[in-house]
């Protein structure tokens, strides 16, 4: 009998931070208690610091764990109810089955994605390629996260040039070139 093993590897850069996409709010868990401060701002980049309370981290952790439990395969010893819901599985047992590292990774991604999506929508920012990158590495964020404790991270938002800025730049450059090329007839 021949066995086929599939090895799944995640692809990521070693020194990069967490990169998340800014998506539509209906897919995200909302984090209401996030404190976001702009650390530095250039024309095309903004660096922000996001801090969450322990209560907010616990709420996000519980919601992510619930969502992962819904999509998890059937757990031996626990029947599924009508509609595919798994009956009450003890939380510690569920974390053990799903993997604490995996759950924490999903929670951190959800926090980064939801807080920065809310921030960009509130501020009316157009983020380049709808992607945001944290300044800390994924491993650092995962190790610093504990449900119920305060959590914070810094992120860089690369902004797209707005259409207004681009048209102003084109208008000013074309008007200055028109002035230089204007010939005045001499009589």
Structural domain contains residue 45: yes
Structural domain contains residue 62: yes
Structural domain contains residue 64: yes
- In a 10 Å sphere around its CB, with 0-12 CB exposed, 13-18 middle and 19+ buried, how is residue 170 labelled? exposed
What's the mean per-residue pLDDT of the chain?
Answer: 74
Write the CA distances from 129 to 14, 32, 134, integer angstroms: 22, 25, 15
Structural domain contains residue 11: no
Give me the domain span that covers residue 150: 17-172
pLDDT at 31 over 90: no
Q: What is the CATH number of the domain that holds 27?
A: 3.30.70.1050
pLDDT at 4 over 60: no
pLDDT at 163 over 60: no
- How would residue 129 be classed by pLDDT, with cut points 50, 70 and 90? confident
Write the CA distances from 47 to 14, 42, 43, 62, 69, integer angstroms: 21, 9, 11, 29, 34
Number of domains, the chain? 1
Structural domain contains residue 128: yes
Structural domain contains residue 184: no
Structural domain contains residue 144: yes
Structural domain contains residue 121: yes
Which position has the higher pLDDT, 172 or 83?
83
- How would residue 76 be classed by pLDDT, with cut points 50, 70 and 90? confident
CA-based angle 123:33:43, to the nearest 5? 25
């Amino acid at each position: 009998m021949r066995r086929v093993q599939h090895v799944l590897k995640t692809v990521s850069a070693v020194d990069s931070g967490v990169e998340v996409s800014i998506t539509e709010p209906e897919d995200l868990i909302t984090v209401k208690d996030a404190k976001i401060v702009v650390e530095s701002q250039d024309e095309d980049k903004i660096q922000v610091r996001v801090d969450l309370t322990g209560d907010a981290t616990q709420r996000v952790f519980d919601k992510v764990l619930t969502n992962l439990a819904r999509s998890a395969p059937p757990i031996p010893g626990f029947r599924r109810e009508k509609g595919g819901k798994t009956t009450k599985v003890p939380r510690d047992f569920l974390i053990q089955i799903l993997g604490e590292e995996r759950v924490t990774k999903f929670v951190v991604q959800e926090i980064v994605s939801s807080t920065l999506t809310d921030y960009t929508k509130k501020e009316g920012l157009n983020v380049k390629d709808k992607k945001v990158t944290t300044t800390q590495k994924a491993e650092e964020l995962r190790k610093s996260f504990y449900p119920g404790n305060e959590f914070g991270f810094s992120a860089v938002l690369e902004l797209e040039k707005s259409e207004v800025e681009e048209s102003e730049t084109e208008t000013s450059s074309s008007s200055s070139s028109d002035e230089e090329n204007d010939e005045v007839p001499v009589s």
